[in-house]
Amino acid sequence: MTAILTREDIKERTRELVKYLDRKYGYHHWDNPEVEHDPNVIAYRKLYKRPEVKARENPTGKVVIPREDLINLNKAEKEKYIVEQYQSSVPVTKIVKDLGYNSNTPIYRVLKKYGVDLKRKRKDKTSMITQEMLIEASENAESVNAIAKRLERYSPGMNARDVCRLFKHYNMQEAYKKIVKRWRYRYLFENGDVKRYENLTQLARHLGITARKLSRDAKQEKPKYKILTWKEMRDCEDI
């Protein structure tokens, strides 16, 4: 199993390559055609095709590596992976799943071993989000998860719990409750009219059937009832 390349590994490889090229071709004289075909240059470029390196080029900074490869890492490689992922704001639950652990205990044991500040991570994750950013991300968002996804462009690893804390921090609890309700709303088209229900259970009660039966009906190719979510209703209004 090839070791995972961290940012520090890439920096060190870059420094080594620069020194090598300066020695062989002259100080910063890298326009020599031979440089393009130099084995060390070719090997260096291949590093940037590695999945963990390519992943860090995207906005989220999340590393996407086959799970079986992660599970087969040795102890030192796993520890390095845990620390880097945690410091990149990847949720602990995802790290646990990636490495095939049964609990988060091994993760926190490694973080404690390397002196990683656990409290700082939680604070830093939301400290970059201003109230204006939160309001903008909430506009026309159909759910709390949708808001978290929008905010990931500013702070990777945002989740629904982080969004809840942000609303509380900015004293916007009422707005939070409204967005939670949006996600539960269901709209029924019946006899040419549209009626809103607080949730699927309430709508099913109106129709005299169970919510499970109504959910099954919605999955049919030609459902008996025409039901839309809040987002679907809004999309219809925008057309």
Cα torsion at 68, 156, 180, 95 (round to 10°)?
30
pLDDT, tens only, 32-90: 777 778 888 888 888 777 766 655 555 444 555 666 777 778 888 889 889 888 887 78
pLDDT, tens only, 173-199: 999 998 988 888 888 887 778 888 888
pTM recorded for the entire structure: 0.45
In whole angstroms, give the CA distance from residue 177 to residue 184: 11
pLDDT, position 59: 45
Report whether pLDDT(125) > 70.
no
Largest CA distance in the chain: 83
Residue with tokens 């804390």: 165
Average of pLDDT values for 130-159? Answer: 87
pLDDT, position 54: 58
CB 85 within 8 A of CB 63: yes
State residue 190 phi and psi, 5-degree precision.
-145, 125
pLDDT, position 67: 67
Look at residues 151, 142, 134 and name the one whose alpha carbon lies nearest to residue 235. Answer: 142
Angle at 38 between CA 19 and CA 44, to 5 degrees: 65
CB 215 within 8 A of CB 200: yes
Average of pLDDT values for 194-217? Answer: 86
Report whether pLDDT(135) > 60.
yes
In whole angstroms, give the CA distance from residue 202 to residue 210: 10
Report whether pLDDT(1) > 50.
no
CB 130 within 8 A of CB 166: no
CB 42 within 8 A of CB 17: no
pLDDT tier at 147, thresholds 50, 70, 90: very high
In whole angstroms, give the CA distance from residue 89 to residue 110: 16
Angle at 231 between CA 229 and CA 235, to 5 degrees: 120
Which residues are 186's β-sheet partners?
A: 197, 229
State residue 238 phi and psi, 5-degree precision.
-80, -15
